[in-house]
Amino acid sequence: MPNVKHSIVIKSPVDKVFGFVTNPDNWTKYVRSLEDVRDVSSKVVEKGTTFAWKYRMLGMHFDGKGTVTENVKNEKFGMTMEGGLPVTENFGFKQVNGGTELVVEVIYDIPGKIMQLLTENPVADKVNRKVAEGVLEKIKTYCEQ
């Protein structure tokens, strides 16, 4: 199961970064290939909140259901997405020098041998790392505005 872990420092208070990352209205803003989040089961996002999602990768569309697995204010947030492209995302938040260190870990559970080949080769690994970097850079851009 391939995974990617990356971090960034954002010049914004941890409360603002945490609020942005955990708001389902923002998920399509910082995950470029996430096209839709809908049917969120609760107005207050907490452990156990569920949602439906649609993702685009390599010209293919994947749909599924997601569940928030962790939500500890200003410390950690996690979710699993099941369906066509199973993924687990874990975010860690830490206050540093008036800003926030944000760590994201993405764990892919790719079904099928072809998808495993795509994600376990060095080129795909670079692509996955670039995606994680892109997510963090977008969060940084929105939160530093």
Render pLDDT for 21-68 as a digit per residue (tens, 0 to 9).
Answer: 999 999 999 988 889 999 999 999 999 999 999 988 777 788 899 999
pLDDT in tens, 83-117: 877 889 999 999 999 899 999 998 876 655 545 55
Q: What is the pLDDT of residue 119?
A: 52
Tokens coding 122 = 């060095």
Least Cα distance to 128 among 95, 104, 98 occurs for 104
Pick the CATH number of 3-143 from 3.40.50.970, 3.40.47.10, 3.30.420.40, 3.30.530.20: 3.30.530.20
Average confidence (pLDDT) over 118-127: 60
Q: What is the pLDDT of residue 17?
A: 98
What residue ranges do the domains of the chain occupy? 3-143
Q: What is the pLDDT of residue 114?
A: 47
Q: Tokens 């950690």 sit at which residue?
A: 76
* Non-local CB neighbours of 132 within 8 Å, separated by 6+ positions: 4, 5, 6, 104, 106
pLDDT in tens, 56-87: 877 778 889 999 999 999 999 999 999 877 88
Burial (0-12, 13-18, 19+ Cβ within 10 Å), 132: buried
CA 14 to chain centre: 17
